[in-house]
Structure 1
């Protein structure tokens, strides 16, 4: 088997080409899984952002409705007697 050796100034490292290939394969596999995870997380964030925008629009509508109800209450006479009195 082919061995990779460092220069005399560096510590001796005996690593076969097969070991390097195995490490590379493991790293490439790990990278592929990480890329898939990132893509899934990106899709999830995009979906959550859409949902958040929808909820924000609904909240604005509800605030407007509450303000309208409040305005309607202010326009109504406070202590008006019913017509049968």
Structure 2
């Protein structure tokens, strides 16, 4: 009886280990996404969003749109879009 219980415990531990590995992968993927879409601050304002258009057939980058949000002295926000 003791031997069977130990074997079951080992199987359970193996399954838990696999689940932990999968969770770690998802967490790493989320960190990459956060890194790509994170906010960058500089003196001219805030780069809030970077959008890259990619041709799916060739994999070439067609254009990058950068949206700058600057705040005037009266508190009004102005959005500037630049196409590269």
CA RMSD of aligned residues (A): 2.9
Which of 48, 53, 62 aligns to 1:62? It is 48
Highest RCO, 1 vs 2 (Cα 8 Å, sep ≥ 6): 2
Q: Where does structure 1 differ by over 6 angstroms across 4 or more consecutive aligned residues? A: none
Q: Could you tell me the TM-score, scaled by structure 1's length?
A: 0.51
Determine which structure has the larger strand proportion and give its number.
2
Determine which structure has the larger helix proportion and give its number.
1
Query: What 5-or-longer segments of structure 2 have no aligned partner?
Result: 50-66, 74-84
For these two proteins, the number of residue pairs brought into alignment is: 52
Structure 2 counterpart SS, 1:66: strand
CA distance in 1, matches of 2:24, 2:32: 12
